[in-house]
């Protein structure tokens, strides 16, 4: 048996050892973030982007030197991937999705994303496919893909200062991103150019999407098409020379379009279905010179559609007023006789 003195010494030793261990952990803290380099010509840490990602840890940065990287990149860690310059640093998907982001808090910056063409697949073929949250895509060019970039079941992401062009089906899509409805903001598209795609934007079951200070032009069909959306905001945008409608809403509620220039589109400036669309607000916009009219409203009546544009509505009211006036005049003339 140990004596009392020995027990005290042993207890004190364990106490001091424990305190020293805690102090060491506090001083050491988490591992420092590092930068991994990629160059397909050699001389860097890695020759492929995916190898660098596989060897990275949370918080690291992957810096990609100029080159064309023909690979399908899966980003499953919270890291930053930064290219040398979006004009000379390219990820080519070679017929498959070029970049798939599944982790939260990922940054993709200064890259060109291209080459996601070919037979469609599931998940659908895209240049960039985002299912993570809190991600940032900055200063990228997204070009010559079947679909440019798709956010699916994803919220609180930002796309800024990007050029999205020449994508065969749609430039930017949001699918089932209504999970952000309870939050003050959702996904944000800002300071970007979306041009010469089939659809500029396609939103389905999307809420709290903000499209701010973007130029959306020369897309083959609609500049922005949204179905089953809520509380989206389109502001400070130029929406012009799209082949069909500048903006089309189907089953859209509580969406704001403000301070936009919507001109020269092949269909209507804004086309909306009021049978299922409610409480949208159009404020301080310049809407003019659209081929079919500036605002077209579609209303349901039984099982058929009754169509009213602003021009048609005012014309109909004028006709009704004229008929009422003539009827009153005829009534008093007949009564007098």
- Bond preceding residue 309 cis, omega within 30 of 0: no
- Residue 21 sits in the same domain as residue 39: no
Minimal CA–CA distance to 183: which of 231, 254, 252? 231
Confidence at 186, pLDDT banded by 50, 70, 90: confident
Q: What is the pLDDT of residue 321?
A: 72
On whether the CB atoms of residues 67 and 91 are closer than 8 A, the answer is no
Q: Are residues 148 and 6 in the same domain?
A: no
Do 204 and 307 belong to one domain? yes
Same-domain check for residues 127 and 161: yes
Measure CA of the first residue to CA of the last residue in the chain; give whole Å. 133
* pLDDT score recorded for residue 47: 97
Instruction: Say if CB 127 and CB 149 are below 8 A apart.
Output: yes
pTM of the model: 0.80
Does 242 lie in the same domain as 137?
Answer: yes
Are 52 and 129 in the same domain? Answer: yes
Q: Reply yes or no on whether the pLDDT at 187 is more than 60.
A: yes
287 shares its domain with 153? yes
pLDDT class of 74 with cuts at 50, 70, 90: very high
Domain count, the chain: 2
78: confidence class by pLDDT, cuts 50, 70, 90: very high
Measured in degrees and rounded to the nearest 5, phi and psi for residue 301 equal -140, 110
12 with 88, same domain?
A: no
Mean pLDDT of 311-323: 59
Among 175, 191, 180, 268, smallest CA distance to 231 is for 180
What CATH number does residue 118 fall under? 2.160.20.10
212 in the same domain as 298: yes
Note whether 214 and 75 are same-domain residues.
yes
Same domain, residue pair 18 and 107: no
Report the pLDDT value the prediction gives residue 5, as an integer from 0 to 100. 63
Please give the mean pLDDT across all residues of the chain: 85
Q: Domain range for residue 14?
A: 1-30
Question: Nearest 5°: CA angle at 73, between 71 and 75?
Answer: 170
9, pLDDT greater than 70: no
Contact 163, 186 (CB under 8 A): no
Answer yes or no: do 62 and 189 share one domain: yes
Q: How far apart are CA 218 and CA 261, in angstroms?
A: 14
DSSP letter, residue 230: B
Q: What is the pLDDT of residue 310?
A: 40
């Amino acid at each position: 048996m140990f004596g009392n003195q020995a027990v005290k010494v042993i207890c004190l030793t364990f106490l001091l050892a424990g305190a020293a261990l805690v102090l060491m952990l506090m001083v050491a803290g988490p591992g420092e973030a590092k930068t991994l380099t990629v160059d397909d010509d050699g001389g860097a840490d890695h020759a492929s982007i995916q190898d660098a990602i596989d060897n990275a840890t949370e918080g690291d940065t992957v810096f990609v030197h100029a080159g064309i990287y023909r690979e399908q990149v899966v980003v499953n860690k919270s890291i930053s991937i930064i290219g040398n310059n979006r004009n000379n640093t390219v990820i080519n998907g070679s017929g498959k999705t070029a970049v798939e982001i599944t982790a939260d808090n990922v940054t993709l910056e200064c890259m060109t994303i291209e080459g996601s063409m070919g037979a469609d697949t599931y998940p659908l073929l895209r240049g960039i496919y985002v299912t993570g949250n809190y991600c940032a895509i900055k200063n990228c060019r997204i070009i010559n893909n079947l679909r440019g970039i798709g956010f699916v079941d994803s919220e609180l992401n930002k796309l800024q200062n990007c050029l999205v062009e020449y994508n065969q089906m749609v430039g930017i899509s949001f699918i089932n991103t209504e999970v952000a409805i309870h939050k003050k903001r959702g996904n944000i598209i800002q300071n970007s150019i979306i041009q010469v795609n089939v659809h500029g934007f396609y939103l389905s079951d999307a809420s709290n999407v903000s499209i701010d200070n973007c130029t959306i032009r020369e897309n083959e069909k609609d500049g922005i098409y949204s179905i089953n959306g809520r509380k989206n905001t389109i502001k400070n945008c130029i929406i012009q020379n799209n082949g069909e409608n500048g903006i089309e809403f189907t089953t859209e509620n509580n969406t704001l379009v403000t301070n936009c220039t919507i001109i020269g589109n092949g269909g209507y400036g804004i086309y909306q279905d009021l049978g299922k669309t409610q409480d949208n607000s159009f404020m301080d916009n310049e809407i003019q010179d659209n081929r079919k009219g500036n605002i077209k409203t579609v209303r349901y009546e039984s099982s058929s559609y009754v169509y009213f544009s602003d021009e048609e509505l005012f014309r109909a009211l004028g006709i009704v007023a004229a008929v009422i006036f003539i009827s009153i005049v005829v009534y008093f003339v007949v009564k007098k006789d």
